[in-house]
Structure formats: structure tokens, C-alpha cells
Amino acid sequence: MKATINHNSQTFQVDFSKPIDISITLTNTDENPIAWYIEKPVIEPVVFGDWIGKVSEGKSSTNFNNIFFNPHGHGTHTECLGHITKEFYSINDSLKTFFFTAELISVEPEIHGEDFVILKEQIEKALNGKTTEAIVIRTLPNLNQKISKNYSNTNPPYLDEKASKFIREIGIKHLLIDLPSVDKEKDEGKLLAHKAFWNVKNVQELNDEARLDATITEMIFVKGEILDGSYLLNLQIASFENDASPSKPVLYQIL
């Protein structure tokens, strides 16, 4: 279904019959991606005595599962600045609109010592002067391992503080990336890229310039055949009162 969209003084066409889901499925198998040293998710039926909430077991008319997972470590998730602040802030309160213009870019992190880092110059070159509400960063090489990788103790690539600050300074409110974090895995708690993007200067007492309505989405996966360029982003979250929620970002190509 093609539709003409009027959004922030822009008019364009999108085809809503061709969604591009860039989230990773959460499962209770060894194929589920993992970060931050935790185990895989648990999805299992409720048990009351000899009653099991699973139709195939023959004692229940419904499937009735408990799910135990961590949004930060078990797949695609969207977080607000409450992820790093002393005071509680909820993603459910921070994200109130769900459609944004987005630019998909592909970047190969550069080697700096023992790290692979995404630099400001790379982001600036890839955007080439374009203005957008959201940026979707696909790292190269774009291996299918991303959808099942255990990232713990692997020192994945990350976003340089200056790159994160640049993204903030050009007005981008929503940052999506196919890595477990925008920051270095072991950085002594500095969280420089998170702080630069949200403009948080003091996690103990939030400064007036902090961006309460900006979000970071991590552990996405953009298939290789999806071309860099301009899209409409639908950023879907569950209604959790938590700093982060599992999420389902969906792109629609702008025609």
C-alpha cells in the first residue's frame, strides 16, 4: 500500500506493504545473541503442580509461558538516558512519537590500537550533509553472525565520543546501531558515547541540556541487500516502565 506522507514539512511516498524489519528475534535457543556476560533467555511454560501451561503436554488448553530476558543483553532494544542516570527515567515516557525520517549508512570501523572504532569523519562523510531525525548505522563487514553472536569478552567495535557528539550536534534524536553498545565493552564505566549523545554531563544530577527525548537502539541487523539511503523509520517498543525495552525498528523506503 503506497501512501503520501506529510512529515515535518516534508512530503514523500512510502510503500507500507514492504516493511524492512531490522530487529533481531528473541529466542530461548543458543542462536540468540548475547552480550554482557549473561546466559540465553528463558521461555518456558508455567507449572502448577502437575499442570503445565503447554498444549502439547495434554494438560492445558492454552500455551502459557513465562519469559525471562534482559533487554540490553538479549537482542534489539531501545534505551533512554535513564540507562546511565541516578534518577529513574523510563523509555515509555521518553519515546512518545514513533515515525521518523532516517538515513541508513554503512561504515567500516577503523583500527585504533586494539580497538575498532567508528569515527566522526566517517559519519560525516556518509551523511554527506543530509539532515534526518534518525541515523541507522550498519557496520562492515556485515556478517550474518550478528544475529546469533555472543559478544561477551570480544571487545566489539564502538562509536567514538566525537562521532556521538557530532550526531547530537546535527540534531539527530534517534541513533540505531548493529552493535551491543555505542561504547567500548570495558571502558571503566566512562560511557563517553552515551553521555555525548544524550548530552549528559552529570549522571548524579541531570543537567538542563540533557536530551530526555533522544533514544539509542542497539543490536539491530540490516541485511546486506538493503541499500544505504533515506527511509521512514517506525520505532516500536513495548510499554515497559524501564530504562530500556525490547524493540522492533522497521524501515520503509522513501520512494
pLDDT digits (tens, 9 = 90+) for 186-203: 999 999 999 999 999 988
Q: At residue 205, does pLDDT exceed 90?
A: no
Range 2-27+72-253 classified under CATH 3.50.30.50: yes
Separation CA 190–CA 107 (nearest Å): 24
Separation CA 200–CA 80 (nearest Å): 11
Domain boundaries, the chain: 2-27+72-253
pLDDT digits (tens, 9 = 90+) for 92-151: 999 999 999 999 999 999 999 999 999 999 999 999 999 999 999 999 999 999 999 999
Tell me the pTM.
0.97
Separation CA 35–CA 219 (nearest Å): 10
What percentage of the chain reaches a pLDDT higher than 90? 93
Q: At residue 23, does pLDDT exceed 90?
A: yes
Q: At residue 43, does pLDDT exceed 90?
A: yes
Q: At residue 72, does pLDDT exceed 90?
A: yes
Q: Which residues, 6 or more positions from 129, have their beta carbon under 8 angstroms from its beta carbon?
A: none
Q: In one letter, which amino acid is 197?
A: F
Handedness of CA 167, 84, 235, 71 (dihedral sign): positive
Q: In degrees rounded to 5, what are phi and psi of residue 12? A: -155, 170
CB count, 10 Å around CB of 40?
A: 19
Separation CA 184–CA 155 (nearest Å): 7
Of the candidate ranges 38-42, 206-210, 237-241, the one whose mean pLDDT is the lowest: 206-210
> What does DSSP assign to residue 201?
S
